[in-house]
Chains A and B, each alone.
Chain A
Amino acid sequence: MEICGQIVSGEHGEIFIRQKSGETLEIGEMLAVGENPISIMMVYDLTYGSQLSQGNLELASGMHIEGMGAGLSFMEENLQNYVIAKVKAVAYVKKNVNGKYEASIPKSLPQFFSKVRKVTSADFEFLSDGKNAEHSLYLGCLRSGSSRLKDMEITIDGPDALTHHILITATTGRGKSNLVKAMLWKLLDKEYCGILVLDPHDEYFGNSAAPGMRDHPKAKENVVYYSPSASAPKGSITLRINTKSVKPWHFNGVVNITDAQSQAMHLIYQRYRDDWIRKMFEESAEAASLAFSDERTGGKSGIEAYLESRGVMEGTFAALKRKISVALDIFEEGGKIIEKGVFTTKETGIGAADDILAALESGKKVIIDTSRLSSYAEILVGSIIANKVFEKYAEYKSAGTLDGKPVVSIVLEEAPRVLGASDGEINVFGRIAREGRKFKIGLIGITQLASLIPREVLANMNTKIILGNEMEAERRAIIESAAQDLSTESKMIASLEKGEALVSSIFTKFAIPIYTPLFNDIVKETKAAESKQPVRKYVGSDD
Chain B
Amino acid sequence: MPSKSIFDFSNSGDAAKNEETKEKKAPREKHKREAPRSAAAHKHEISKSKIAQPPAPVPPKKEGTIRFAHLADCHLGAFRDDTLRELNIKAFENAIDKSVAEGADFIIIAGDLFHTNVPDMRVAERCARKLRHLKEKGIEVFVLYGSHDYSPNEKSIIDVLKGAGLFNKLGGGEYVGDKLKLKPSEFRGIPIIGLLARTSGLEKSDYEHLDTEALEALPNPKIFVYHSAIAEYRPSFLKDAECVPLSLFPKGFAYYAGGHVHERREVDERGYGTFVFPGHTFGADFRDLESDAEEAPGFYIVDIESGAINLHFVPVEIPEIMLADFKADGKGALEFKEELQHWANGGNFAGKIVMLRVAGKLASGKPNEVELEKIRETVLEKGALVCVLNRGSLSSAERLAVQIDTSKSKDEIEREIIGEFVSKASFKDDALNGKKGAELAISLSGALKQEQRANETKDTYHRRVFGDVRKVMDSAEGQK
Contacts and interface: CB of A to CB of B under 8 A. Distances in A.
Nearest to A351: B234
Given A134-B457, A536-B180, A355 B173 contact: no
B7 to A, nearest CB: 21
A49 interface: no
Contacts of A346: 267
A99 interface: no
A237 B173 contact: no
B454 A347 contact: no
Contacts of B427: none
Contacts of A536: 175, 178, 180, 205, 209
A538 B180 contact: yes
Interface stretch (B215-223, B243-251, B378-386): B243-251
Contacts of A234: 208, 212, 247-248
B166 to A, nearest CB: 15
A220 interface: yes
Contacts of A347: 233, 265, 267
Nearest to B271: A230
B350 to A, nearest CB: 36
B271 to A, nearest CB: 4
B267 A538 contact: no
Contacts of A235: 208, 245, 247-248
A219 to B, nearest CB: 11
Given A238-B247, A536-B180, A541 B231 contact: no
A134 B456 CA distance: 8
A240 B232 contact: yes
B458 A191 contact: yes
Interface string A331-363: 000000000000000111111101100110000
A458 to B, nearest CB: 28
A177 B436 CA distance: 61
Contacts of A540: 145, 171-173, 182, 194, 196
A537 B174 CA distance: 7
B174 A355 contact: no
B455 interface: yes
B183 interface: yes
Interface string A181-204: 000000000011000000000000
B201 interface: no
A233 B246 CA distance: 11
A231 interface: yes
B10 to A, nearest CB: 21
B14 interface: no
A539 B232 contact: no
B372 to A, nearest CB: 33
A351 B174 contact: no
A208 interface: no
Nearest to B246: A238
Contacts of B232: 237-238, 240, 348-349, 352
A314 B240 CA distance: 44
Interface in A519-539: 533, 535-539
Contact of B455 (A132, A231, A542): A132
B454 A403 contact: yes
B212 to A, nearest CB: 8
Contact of B240 (A355, A404, A537, A541): A355
A401 interface: yes
Interface in B244-299: 245-248, 265, 267, 270-271
B206 interface: yes
Contacts of A535: 175
B375 to A, nearest CB: 34
B451 interface: yes
Contact of A542 (B152, B183, B240, B458): B183
Interface string B45-68: 000000000000000000000000
A134 B208 contact: no
B455 A541 contact: no
B262 to A, nearest CB: 15
B6 to A, nearest CB: 25
Contacts of B152: 539
A358 B454 CA distance: 19
Interface in A372-398: none
B236 interface: yes
B234 A541 contact: no
A134 B198 CA distance: 35
A232 B271 CA distance: 11
Contacts of B245: 235-238
Given A403-B451, A538-B173, A355 B180 contact: no
B235 interface: yes
B416 interface: no
B231 A355 contact: yes
B452 interface: yes
A436 interface: no
Interface in A222-242: 230-238, 240
A538 B209 CA distance: 11
Given A235-B247, A538-B175, A134 B180 contact: no
Contacts of A348: 232-233, 267
Nearest to A273: B33
A392 B234 CA distance: 20
Given A348-B233, A404-B452, A538 B206 contact: yes
A210 to B, nearest CB: 19
A538 to B, nearest CB: 5
A350 B180 CA distance: 31
B335 interface: no
A92 B235 CA distance: 59
A236 B244 CA distance: 10
Contacts of B247: 232-238
A135 interface: yes
A541 B174 contact: yes
Interface string B340-383: 00000000000000000000000000000000000000000000
A231 B235 CA distance: 24
Given A238-B246, A238-B247, A540-B182, 20 more contacts: A134-B457, A135-B455, A234-B212, A235-B247, A236-B247, A237-B232, A237-B245, A347-B267, A355-B234, A403-B451, A537-B175, A538-B175, A538-B180, A538-B206, A539-B150, A540-B172, A541-B173, A542-B172, A542-B173, A542-B183
Interface of A: 132, 134-135, 159, 191-192, 220, 230-238, 240, 274, 346-352, 354-355, 358-359, 401, 403-404, 533, 535-542
23 contacts: A231-B271, A233-B247, A234-B208, A235-B245, A237-B246, A238-B232, A240-B232, A350-B233, A350-B234, A351-B240, A355-B240, A358-B240, A533-B178, A536-B175, A536-B178, A536-B180, A538-B173, A538-B174, A539-B152, A539-B154, A540-B173, A541-B173, A542-B172
The 6 closest A-B pairs by CB, nearest first: A540-B171, A230-B271, A351-B234, A404-B451, A237-B245, A355-B240
